[in-house]
């Protein structure tokens, strides 16, 4: 491995989205990652849906809003983003002159993919005079076509900050959009997209689980469909769900979101039981296949060789930055 340099590593990326370089099983990846953080003044930002080992080595772990806020203020020279592509893009847009690397360039997002930029542009043109609020789970192209970005932890406040008579397009998540329409009483034009993980939960199986665990509370992410949300005792972003389990008195929870968050729930409340909400089939479809493309090995390799690096068009970054900055400003105003 020592004979591979950064330029050679770049060549290895041509077809794969990650560095396909053998890592010695003897190597202590936890120690190596700590060494690389210091050597390169690197920061590892990770989302709660990452595998437990990645969560454990991260400098900062958070939901999409907190990760964007950290990216906006980091002093690190190298940003290592353990999450999915749109999250790394957001970090790059906020730090156009810094190097942003990610363990696997192909870690995408079904929700972001549901709104290709050219189709969204045509959709937007059908609704002149509408303000576009887009969920952060979208491509940089869609961000550039938006007025304000939001996440699941600030969406309600962002919608409420807009004058009541201002028509709104909300994209790309129809489930989050429908939930927000109910919460705010605002009618919005919705883009018809969804997250493959949050649409897979089985109402029938959750109902059976509730019978078997009568004291368990159901907690759900607002990307879930309405019938699941109706079962929920609490609805929130990943950080919102985690904080709820810390302060709430129940001992058992049925958790309707991606399973990665259970690691932090279990660490902060070891005496409690967390049951992943079951999917409709017998697959592990409540694991996000995109988030789970990242591994500790790939994380180590991307830090060692600074590849794959996220490269973005400058003009696109400038346009996409405005609605993200608006989100950060409004969030700061509300102390979020
Ligand atoms: P939050 O962590 O912001 O709740 O987002 C969840 C999600 O689906 C990220 O892909
Ligand atoms: Fe996208 Fe859903 Fe995976 Fe989040 S959990 S990255 S919204 S596919």
The 8-class DSSP code of residue 16 comes to S
Looking at the fold, whether 18 and 74 belong to one and the same domain comes out as yes
Q: If you compute the radius of gyration of the chain from its CA atoms, what whole number of angstroms results?
A: 20
pLDDT for 194 equals 97
- Per the structure, the count of domains in the chain is 3
pLDDT for 50 equals 98
On whether residue 284 sits in a domain, the answer given is no
Which ligand 2 atom is nearest residue 195's CA? 2
On whether residue 162 sits in a domain, the answer given is yes
pLDDT for 9 equals 78
Looking at the fold, whether 30 and 166 belong to one and the same domain comes out as no
Q: Ligand 1: which of 224, 237, 239 to mutate, judged by most atoms within 8 Å of the beta carbon? A: 237
The 8-class DSSP code of residue 193 comes to B
pLDDT for 14 equals 66
Which ligand 1 atom is nearest residue 195's CA? 8
For the Cβ of 13 lying below 6 angstroms from any atom of ligand 2, the answer is no
pLDDT tens track for 125-179: 999 999 999 999 999 999 999 999 999 999 999 999 999 999 999 999 999 999 9
On whether residue 281 sits in a domain, the answer given is no
Instruction: Residue 208: give the domain boundaries.
Output: 201-276
On whether residue 285 sits in a domain, the answer given is no
Q: Report the sign of the C-alpha dihedral through residues 65, 69, 74, 77, in that order.
A: positive
pLDDT for 2 equals 54
pLDDT for 15 equals 76
CATH number (domain holding residue 272): 3.40.50.10800
Which ligand 1 atom is nearest residue 236's CA? 4
Which ligand 1 atom is nearest residue 240's CA? 4
Looking at the fold, whether 30 and 99 belong to one and the same domain comes out as yes
For the Cβ of 257 lying below 6 angstroms from any atom of ligand 1, the answer is no
For the Cβ of 175 lying below 6 angstroms from any atom of ligand 1, the answer is no
Spans of the chain below 70 pLDDT: 1-2, 14
Query: ∠ CA 230-221-176 to the nearest 5 degrees?
Result: 80
Looking at the fold, whether 119 and 74 belong to one and the same domain comes out as no
On whether residue 165 sits in a domain, the answer given is yes
On whether residue 210 sits in a domain, the answer given is yes
Q: Which of 135, 127, 243 lies closest to 195, judged by CA? A: 135
CA of 95 to the centre of ligand 1 (A): 21
Looking at the fold, whether 205 and 220 belong to one and the same domain comes out as yes
β-strand pairing of 188-190 with 168-171: parallel
């Amino acid at each position: 491995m020592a004979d591979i340099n950064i330029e050679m590593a770049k060549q290895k990326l041509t077809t794969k989205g990650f560095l396909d370089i053998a890592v010695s099983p003897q190597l202590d990846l936890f120690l190596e990652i700590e060494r690389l953080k210091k050597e390169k003044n690197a920061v590892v930002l990770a989302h709660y849906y990452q595998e437990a080992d990645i969560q454990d080595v991260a400098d900062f772990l958070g939901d999409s809003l907190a990760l964007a806020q950290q990216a906006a203020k980091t002093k690190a020279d190298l940003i290592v983003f353990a999450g999915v592509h749109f999250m790394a893009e957001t970090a790059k847009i906020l730090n156009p002159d810094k190097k942003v690397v990610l363990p696997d360039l192909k870690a995408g997002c079904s929700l972001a993919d549901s709104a290709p930029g050219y189709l969204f542009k045509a959709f937007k043109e059908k609704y002149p005079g509408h303000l576009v609020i887009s969920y952060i789970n979208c491509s940089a192209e869609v961000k550039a076509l938006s007025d304000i970005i939001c996440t699941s932890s600030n969406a309600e406040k962002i919608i409420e900050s807009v004058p009541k008579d201002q028509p709104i397009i909300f994209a790309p998540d129809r489930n989050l959009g429908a939930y927000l329409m109910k919460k705010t009483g605002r009618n919005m034009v919705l883009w018809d997209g969804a997250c493959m993980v949050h649409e897979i939960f089985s109402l029938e199986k959750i109902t059976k689980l509730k019978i078997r665990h009568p004291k368990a509370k159901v907690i759900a992410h607002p990307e879930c469909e309405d019938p699941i949300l109706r079962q929920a005792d609490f609805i929130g972003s990943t950080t919102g769900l985690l904080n709820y389990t810390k302060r709430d008195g129940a001992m058992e929870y049925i958790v309707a979101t991606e399973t990665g968050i259970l690691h932090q729930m279990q660490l902060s409340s070891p005496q409690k039981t967390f049951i992943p909400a079951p999917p409709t089939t017998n697959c592990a479809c409540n694991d996000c296949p995109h988030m789970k493309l990242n591994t500790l090995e790939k994380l180590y390799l991307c830090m060692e060789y600074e590849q794959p690096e996220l490269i973005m068009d400058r003009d696109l970054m400038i346009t996409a930055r405005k609605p993200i900055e608006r989100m950060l400003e409004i969030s700061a105003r509300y102390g979020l």
